[in-house]
Each structure stands twice: as C-alpha cells, then as structure tokens.
C-alpha cells in the first residue's frame, strides 16, 4: 500500500506571475515526481497489468521531463511521440478483472489513485496556462500535446480508480436499496 501522501496546496496558484523559466523548472520537478510516483506504484502493485500501466505512465513522465529540460535550455525540439499508455491500459483492463476477482488488494491504493488524479489535473491546468501565454508556435503546440497526454493520464487513473472501487460502491448501493425492508409503518 502507498503511504499517506501530502498533497499540499494547489501548485498552479503558486505559479501566477512567474517567468517561463520558473514554469519549466516547476514542470520538470512535477514530471520527475510523477515518474517516481508511478515507478513506486508499479513496484508495489501485485497485478502485472497495473505494473505495465504504471511503468508506461512513468516513461511518459520521463519523456515530458526531457521536453521541458530542452525547452528550458532552448535546445532544438524533436517531435514528441504519442503516449502508448492509454492503448496499453485499454488492453490490460481484461486482466484487471481477473486480478480484482482474486481479491489481491488492488483497491488498497485508492488514496494513491486519487492523489495521482489530482496531480494529473493540476499538470494539465499548468501546461494549458503556459501554452496560452506562449508566443512560439512550436513550443505552444508541444505544450498542448503534453496537455492532451496529461488528460489521458488522468483518464487512465480515473478508470483504474473507478474499476477497483466498483465493488465497494456496488455494495454501498446494494445496501442502500435494501432499506425498504426496514421501513416502519
């Protein structure tokens, strides 16, 4: 199980009025933190499918870090390959159904999944704001492409969260629908 995570304040609020270089530094740190987080989730997961999804997300975060590093250094930008994490995740959800039914504790990381969704959403917001301010069309397009990838990451984690928490939600719903049995007249 992932330890308790301190999410702190909304980081994008701390970036108001910062220079583009400050934003690149911040983005690089966020991407490395994301890579470390997903690497840890991959290592701690008992499910091979989740290990692969989290490893793919960690690789994407490393790719984003390298892009921001090049932007900061004002080095030429190469095209960015599309993330394969979403495609991999779609293919692995069938395996997750088997692992979930075996009771291997996939739902024990719900807090970590919620944290990952928060960070991905925050990253998306920061990069979108940076893209809106960017004057260089090539850099703006690259930032928008990263925004799309961060949205995909959010969707992957949200789907995992929904998937592993479904038995709990279904049980709560089922219990609530049986309340009619206990009506007092």
pLDDT in tens, 28-61: 998 999 999 999 999 988 878 788 889 999 999 9
Tokens of 151: 């949205």
Predicted local distance difference test score (pLDDT) of residue 110:
82
Predicted local distance difference test score (pLDDT) of residue 77:
66
* Confidence bin at 6 (pLDDT 50/70/90): very low
Predicted local distance difference test score (pLDDT) of residue 68:
86
> Rounded distance, CA 160 to CA 114, Å?
10
Q: Mean pLDDT across the stretch 99-105?
A: 49
Q: Mean pLDDT across the stretch 146-162?
A: 89
Predicted local distance difference test score (pLDDT) of residue 130:
86
> Rounded distance, CA 128 to CA 116, Å?
18
Predicted local distance difference test score (pLDDT) of residue 33:
92
Residues with Cβ < 8 Å from 63, sequence gap 6 or more? 80, 81, 83
Q: Mean pLDDT across the stretch 77-102?
A: 56
Report which of residues 20 and 178 the model is more confident about. 20
Quick one: what percent of the chain has pLDDT higher than 70? 61
* Confidence bin at 109 (pLDDT 50/70/90): confident
Checking if the pLDDT of 26 tops 50, the result is yes
The class that CATH gives domain 18-176 is: mainly alpha
What does the chain come to in residues? 185
CB under 8 A, 24+ apart: contacts of 75-84: 77/138, 77/139, 77/142, 80/142, 80/145, 80/146, 82/149, 83/56, 83/149, 83/152, 83/153, 84/56
What is the C-alpha radius of gyration for the chain, rounded to an integer number of angstroms? 19
């Amino acid at each position: 199980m992932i330890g308790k995570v301190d999410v702190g304040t909304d980081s994008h609020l701390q970036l108001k009025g910062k220079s583009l270089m400050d934003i690149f530094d911040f983005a690089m740190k966020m991407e490395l933190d994301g890579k470390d987080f997903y690497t840890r989730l991959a290592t701690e997961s008992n499910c091979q499918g989740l290990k692969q999804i989290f490893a793919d997300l960690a690789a994407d975060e490393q790719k984003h870090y390298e892009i921001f590093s090049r932007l900061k250094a004002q080095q030429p930008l190469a095209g960015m390959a599309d993330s394969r994490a979403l495609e991999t995740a779609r293919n692995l959800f069938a395996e997750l159904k088997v692992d979930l039914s075996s009771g291997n504790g996939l739902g024990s990381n719900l807090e970590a999944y919620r944290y990952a969704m928060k960070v991905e959403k925050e990253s998306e917001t920061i990069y979108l704001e940076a893209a809106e301010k960017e004057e260089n069309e090539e850099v703006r397009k690259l930032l928008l492409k990263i925004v799309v990838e961060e949205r995909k990451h959010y969707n992957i984690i949200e789907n995992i969260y929904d998937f592993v928490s479904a038995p709990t939600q279904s049980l709560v719903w089922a219990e609530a629908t049986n309340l009619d049995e206990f009506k007092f007249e």
